[in-house]
Structures are given as C-alpha cells and as structure tokens.
Amino acid sequence: MSEEHQTPLNWYAGGKDADVQETEEWLTAFEQVIEHEGSGRACFLLQKLLEKGYEKDITLPFTGNTPYINTIPKSKEPAYGGDRAIERRIKSIVRWNAMAMVVRANKRFPGLGGHISTFASAATLYQVGMHHFFKGRGESGFDGDMIYFQGHASPGIYANAFLEGRIPVEKMEAFRRELEKGGGLSSYPHPWLMPDFWEFPTVSMGLGPITAIYQAKFNRYLRNRGLRDPQNRKVWAFLGDGETDEPEALGAITLASREKLDNLIFVINCNLQRLDGPVRGNGKIIQELETNFRGAGWNVIKVIWGSDWDPLIEADNTGLLIKRMTEVLDGEYQKYTVEGGDYVRREFFAKHPELSALVEGLSDEQIHQLRRGGHDPVKVFAAFKAAVEHTGSPTVILAKTVKGYGLGEAGEGRNVTHQQKKLSDEELRFFRDRFDIPVSDKDLASAPFYRPADDSEEIQYLQERRRALGGYVPSRRVRTEPLPLPPDSIWKRYSEGVNRDVSTTMVFVQMLTQLMKDKEIGKRVVPIVPDEARTFGMESLFREFGIYSYVGQLYEPVDKGMLLYYREVKDGQILEEGITEAGSMSDFIAAGTSYATHGIDAIPFFIFYSMFGFQRVGDLIWAAADQRSRGFLLGATAGRTTLNGEGLQHEDGHSHVLASVVPNLLAYDPAYAYELATIIKEGLRRMFQEREDVFYYITLTNENYPMPPMPPGVEEGILKGLYKFKGAPEGMDERPRVHLIGSGSLHREALRAQQILAERFGVAAEVWSATSYKELRRDALEAERWNMLHPEQEPRKPYVVSLFEGDDRPIIAVSDYMKLVPDQIARWLPGRFYPLGTDGFGRSETREALRRFFEVDAESVAIATLVQLARRGEIEPARVRQAIEELGIDPEKPYALLV
C-alpha cells in the first residue's frame, strides 16, 4: 500500500488502507448521498456512524483539526467590498510610512528601537479592517468597535492615522520620543500617554486577549443590566501567534464560548515566528490553535492560502496537495519564504510527480509569489465578513502570514527580523520598488514619509471609508460629566463607631451593600469577587443583588431553601468569575474604563484574597493603571499576622510594597470603620466627580474588634496618610515621651504598647494612625522636588514633617507589612524613625504567636521604644534588658526574615 493511497485528508485517518476497493465503495456511496440528498443528510449519516462506533467500543482517534486549508472555500467567498487597486496603493503607502518611522527614528537616534516586521506581516489584516469592518465611535462618540491592536504593530496604526491627517508629520518624526516638544508618539498603545488615541494597552503580551474577552462579557453585562446596549459593538483582539504561549492569552477562551460571546473576534497573526525564532518549528501553530479553539467551542476560520493557490487546489484531483500542505512543518514553511521559488519547487512540490506537474507552468518567481492567506485581501475580507456575521459563539481567525513581509533580504521570514530597525539603501530601494512608492532615488536614503495630497484618490477613498464606518479608529473619548454621589448621611454611621467586635471586611460589605442600594449610584456599582464571597461574608449580596449569569439559573441550587442561596440571575449585579484573579481583574478594567469605552460610569469594587492580588495579577494592575481605570481594589484577609492559620502562601505582608510602585494608585491600610468610610467617600469623589484618573487599593482584614468613633478633625489626616489618634496618658508630663504609629489591625498593638509603656516603664507615648505611607511619601517627594528646583524660595514642608515639628522624640512605627512600607517616610524623619514589620515568609499560627514571631506585637513595640530611649540616654540599657525579660521575649529567638 503506497502512501498515495492513504486518504487525501489523512491528517485524520492516518493509517494504511487494507482494502482500497471497499474504501472506494463507501466513499462513492457517501458522495452520492451528498449529491442527491444534500449535506444535512450526509452529516446525519456521519453522526450515526460515529454513534455506532462508540456503541461498538471503537475508539476514534481524537482530532480537533480540519485539513490545512482555508475554512472558507473559494466557492463560498463573497464578492470583495471595495476597490482593490486603490486599497493596495493605500496599504503600500501605510507599509512604507510604518517602516520609515522606525528607520528614521533609529537613523537619528540609534537604539530607539521599534518594530517593522510585525506590522509588515499584519498590514492586510488591519487595512481590510480599516476599509470595511472596524466601526468608529459614531455620533454618540461611544459606539463602534473595540479594537485591541497588537502592541508591536503600532507603527502601522500610526502610519494609517498619518494618512487620515490625524497625526502630523512632526509627530511621526518623534516616534518613541515622547519628551520631544509637543509630545511624540508612544512606542506602544498606551492610553496613559496618548489619551485621545489609544484605548487598550496590549503590549504586555497575553493581556490584550484576556482583557478583550472580559470586555466582550462586560458589554453583555451592561446590556442585561439595562445600563447600555452595546449589542452591535464588536470586540476585536489582534494578537501574535507567539503571544498565544502566554497563559493569559488562551486561559479564558472557554469563558468566551460558554457565554456565547459572538460579539468577540480574535485575529491571530500566524506569521510562524516570534522574537527569537519559529513559534512551532516542529509543528504547526495554526493546527495547534485550531484544536484549542475548536475544543473550547469557538468558531474557527483558517485563512492559510491566498487566491493564487486556488487554481492549484482545484486542479489537484489526487488530494496530494492538501496532504502535502498538511504534513509540512512550520519550520519548513519559514524556510520556503527565505529560500525562494526554486527551493519550494524542489522541496514542496517535487515530493510527488503529480504536484510537480501542477506547477510546471509557473516560474520560480511565480512560485515564490504564491501568497499566504493573511496577505490576500479577498481571503481576509471573506473571513472578517464571516466572523462579523457569525452568531452563537466567538470567532477566531487564524491568518497565515510572513513575518517581515516585503522586507526581502532585509528580514522577510528570517529569525532576526523582529529586531530589524534599519534598512540599507539597497533594502530601501527593494522595498520602495516592491510597493511602488513615489520616492526618488535621491531621497531614498533618508526614507522620507510620503503622504498623497488630501484630494488624491487614495486619501479621498480612505476618508470616505472611515466616514461610512462611523469615524476614525483608534480613538479614545471620555465621559466628563460628574456623577451625582450619595448624600453624606450614608457615611455618618461609620463615624459613630461600632461597639461589637467586627472586622474591616464586615464593615466594607455593609458599606458596599449600602452603596448598591443607593438610588444615584447603586446600579453602577460592580462588585467583583473570584470565588471568595463566603470568605469575606458577602453571601448576603447573592440573594439581594444576584450573581450575573447570561442564562440565569437553569438548575435548582442545592441551597435554594436557605436565605442566602447561590442565586444566579440574568440581570445579576455581582460578577463572580470563579477562581480567576486574572479574569476578575479584567472585569475590573472593563468596568473601570466604561466611562471611556461606553461613556457611562461603572464603579467596580474588586475584592480578592490580598495575597492573590498584586503578586498574581500585578501586570494586569499595571495595565489597569495605563488604561486609566477607576475603581476600588480591595485586598481582603490582608496582613501577614492578621490572617492567622493560613501560612506562607496566604499571609500577605507585601501588597503595600507592590502597590507602592503603581503611579496613579492610592494605597490605604485602614484600621477602623471611619477610616475606611472616609477613604471610599473621597475615592468616589475624586474618581467620579472630579474625574481624576486614579484608582484605589485598600487592604481589609478579618480580625474582629470594636470600631471606635471618629476623633474630631481627622478626615484630612486620614486621606493624607497619618493623623494623631490619641494623646499621651494624662499626668505624665515629666516622663520620657515617644510617638507610636500603628496601621491596619496592628494599630491596636500600638495602643496596647502605649499602655504597657505607661504602666510598666513610665514612658508617655502618643499614638498615631498611619493609613497610607504611599500618600505620605508622594507628598514629601513633591515638596522635596519643588524645593530642589526653587532654591531661593521658602521651602515647602512635607506634611509628615509638619506633623512632628517642634519635638525630636523617637517615632516607632508598626504595621503588618514589610518594614519597607513605613520606611517610605524614614528619610524625612532622620535619626528618630524606627519601623517594625513582617519581613519574611508567613507561618500557620495564631495571631499572638505570629505577632511575637515577627516582632510586631505590643511587647515588641515596647522594647523597640525603650531601645530608642536608651540610645538617647533617657533610660539605662540594663533597663531594656530587664524589660525584654519581663515581657517574655527571647532575645535569641529566630529572625523571621531568615527562617
């Protein structure tokens, strides 16, 4: 049995044919069914055969694959919707300018970087979208498609906007030089840096796809909740094939199909290469992705071969061409690009005489020019159209392209192409000639930008297309009207204190419930929780507000009879994503930016296990910051010694260090209900009334204690990060005096230390509450910088300095975080600031044991204080040694950081 007699589509059947005649009979019979009774009947029979196979215990080999050919056959291709000749000219000019902006930037400033080859491979994908599919924001300013452009393709997107007249040539010259006068163009899509242009930060690979999925889900959520109807808005995510190795890229694809997100389209540019080399040299990335996406329930459209291949496929009645296409590996396909037509004839076609015969009439050059599907507008148009019209599931388009397409020797298909930033004169000439750009030989070396006149056919055409499609993309707008906020009275109860033992988490849930009931903002609140609602005592919200599910609840929940049962409902308000902090963070971004994407305010409160927040999804938080998301992140069960029993992986003592690095994030570690209320109230004001692009991180703990009433006049201090909570005990005027600062749940250890110091050691301590070292530092840095630049003017005083002016007493600070957190202000309190903190791995233990272990309990605070006083000669060192003994602290105990 020769190979030739394997079935043509043996990507599936694989094995040898033991009875060719019998096979033929079956196939002929089947073909007759198709011919006379149609494909429906044929499909039915196939299903019946499969059923019978399973019944008879015949294990079928699994495959999620179809042959390595276009999903849409030529016979089903729609007519092309535009003028191909003009579009080709426009595309060529965009290609040239995209290349030129990188080359020019690097000629003048070697090392600036930039990418030529990513857009070179994706140009057709974007241009077909620009001319025919991507809907602009329309008259409302908040309609249209949401497009996640691949970060490295940004030169092409700028080049397109340049032709549209939206980016002047001076800005094109200032690519990657944003500090240039007037501002340049950012390297990648950054809404923070170009807030009128870029909408979605995609360049940290994997984040575009996952946030796009949740964006599509959020659009549905808004609709089902009656807040807005973005039904016609498609979410397009463009990504690289190498990018799909990022866990985030494919990690949420089943959510998209489960929720039938047919408003979502992924376009994966399969140029077979990533930065260093091939994506799947030993396999086929398109086939691998097809299996993944089909398995996940997506509509998969493969765009592999350009129209030039159609006659060959049609002419081949042996099935060998498809077989050959399917068996060749990506590593070899890459080589075909680099080696040229003669090589392809020998290595690809000459494998079978029948295939050689197919290309007999083609020159080597013609063989080399046989295009891949992703470079053929007809094929791309057909795929995009099918994707846009598809209903019932999300669509992924797997488009095969060549990395560095059009660069020729300068990098087409080469492993080094991703890094290519400069072209020699020869290479520029090749590029110019290939795309027929009217740049003279004389000017060629400088790779000048080229823009046809406004009244040229090309510019007229592209302007008309964008007008017809509702405006330019990308473009970002924002809602600017302030949101009416709840009356002050709702916060009052928190300033009165609570006599029972409660935790800040419980207080938060109460606040959230109240906000959700508020008639002004209630419906805009988006509570997000990844499978921890019960941990945080939020199950009461299930019943009242419901968990969002696009189908509602199709089963009777086991706890239906109970008051707080797991209630899923179509217009549910809570986004409960299951165990995915990354997914929940993507919800947060979608909701927190809806003031820009949809022009309506949504107020996300994403509450998570604090340890599984910043360190798990830190990069998404960074993207949220870039995208100017507004809302509240709540790190619950926070505090390395406050969350007892859970141990090393659960106890968070550093999220405030991680939060300190995000520029527009405010981070607070409140101890009491009134502090929390003050912070949230102010957050709502700043983000939704003042319209500031900031967001909040607040840690919440699960330690129960009574909540004191709010001392008078402390609101400003709470927001600035530090205020005096309680003066020194009465009648201790002559005693050594110190300041103790406590934060979060350890504030109570500072209070207990105050008592120990007074009662046992005759030391008078004032107790302060630090809600935010990050804010204190921000303020101090600002003052310091101003002073540096204005040497002759009255120096500004950092807030933290002003608080301790007039005395030089020691300051001992204790928090449940690493010492680095309070250390943020040490510089402004020289020689007197001593932080205690929880550096090291957590342990499963009781709170008491943990606090002693990390030396953050009241006794340790007392010792640290006495040491500072001894240093200053205010008490004897021997007294400190005695105190260590009296307070039961073992001086030889292990150091938490090292064990």
Give the range of 267-275, 551-559, 673-681, 761-769 binding ligand TPP by CB under 6 A: 267-275
DSSP bridge partners of 813: 741, 835
What does the DSSP assignment read for 111-178? T----SHHHHHHHHHHHHIIIII----TTTSS-S-EEE--GGGHHHHHHHHHHTTSS-HHHHHTBT-T
Sole window of 270-278, 578-586, 685-693, 830-838 interacting with ligand TPP (rule: CB under 6 A): 270-278
Site membership for ligand TPP, residue 154 (CB under 6 A) = no
Q: Which helix (H) or strand (E) holds 354?
A: helix 353-358
The stretch near Mg ion (CB under 5 A) out of 73-81, 151-159, 233-241, 494-502 is 233-241
State the Cα torsion 273-275-276-278 to the nearest 10°.
-10
Place of tokens 């600002």: 782
Comparison of 505 and 627: residue with beta carbon closer to ligand TPP:
627
Beta bridge partners of 739: 766, 811
Q: How far, in Å, are 107, 173, 174, 178 from residue 103 at the CA level?
A: 6, 10, 12, 17
Q: How many residues interact with ligand TPP (rule CB under 6 A)?
A: 19
CB of 152 to ligand TPP, least distance (A): 5
837 binds, among Mg ion, ligand TPP, none (CB under 5 to 8 A by kind): none
241 binds Mg ion (CB under 5 A): yes
Q: Tell me: does residue 334 bind Mg ion (CB under 5 A).
A: no
Name the residue nearer to ligand TPP (CB basis): 206 or 406.
Answer: 206
- Binding piece for ligand TPP, criterion CB under 6 A, among 166-174, 239-247, 297-305, 483-491: 239-247
CB of 822 to ligand TPP, least distance (A): 32
Q: Which of 18, 52, 187, 211 is nearest to 115 (CA)?
A: 187
Residues in the interface with Mg ion (CB under 5 A) total 5
Give the rounded distance of the alpha carbon of 36 from its chain centre.
52
Q: Does 745 bind Mg ion (CB under 5 A)?
A: no
Distance in Å from the first CA to the final CA of the chain? 68
CA distances from 757 to 25, 765, 835, 862 (A): 97, 7, 17, 6
Of the residues 1, 275, 350, 416, which one makes contact with ligand TPP according to CB under 6 A: 275
Which of 144, 206, 208, 242 is in the footprint of Mg ion by CB under 5 A? 242
φ, ψ (nearest 5 deg) of residue 97: -65, -35
**By rule CB under 6 A, what string of x and - marks binding of each residue 358-397 to ligand TPP?**
----------------------------------------
Nearer of residues 387 and 402 to ligand TPP, judged by Cβ:
402
Cα separation, 831 vs 434, whole angstroms: 70
Interface stretch with Mg ion, choices 200-208, 237-245, 641-649, 697-705 (CB under 5 A): 237-245
List the structure tokens of 522. 């209630």
Nearer to Mg ion, 129 or 240 (CB): 240
Peptide bond into 474 cis (omega under 30): yes
Q: Mask 83-122, x = binds ligand TPP (CB under 6 A)?
A: -----------------------------------x--x-
> Which one of 47-55, 240-248, 758-766, 858-866 is the stretch in contact with ligand TPP (CB under 6 A)?
240-248
Query: What are all long-range contacts of 453-461, with beta carbons under 8 Å and residues at least 24 apart?
Result: 454/165, 457/86, 458/86, 458/89, 458/90, 458/93, 458/163, 459/163, 459/165, 461/83, 461/86, 461/87, 461/90
Question: Of the listed pieces 62-70, 265-273, 474-482, 565-573, which binds ligand TPP according to CB under 6 A?
Answer: 265-273
With contact defined as beta carbons under 8 Å apart, do 627 and 200 qualify?
A: yes
Does residue 420 touch Mg ion according to CB under 5 A?
A: no
What residues from 266 to 305 belong to the interface with Mg ion (CB under 5 A)? 271, 273
Site for Mg ion in 243-272 (CB under 5 A): 271
Ramachandran angles phi, psi of 668, nearest 5°: -130, 145
Return d(Cα 822, Cα 610) in angstroms, integer.
19
- Closer to Mg ion by CB, 285 or 344: give it: 285
**Using CB under 6 A, which of 124, 186, 263, 273 touches ligand TPP?**
273
Looking at beta carbons only, is 243 or 816 nearer to Mg ion?
A: 243
The two structure tokens encoding residue 889? 């602290």
Per CB under 6 A, 203 contacts ligand TPP:
yes
401 binds Mg ion (CB under 5 A): no
Q: Is 345 in the site for ligand TPP (CB under 6 A)?
A: no
Binding site for ligand TPP (CB under 6 A): 118, 121, 152, 203-206, 240-243, 269, 271, 273-275, 279, 403, 418
Binding site for Mg ion (CB under 5 A): 240-242, 271, 273
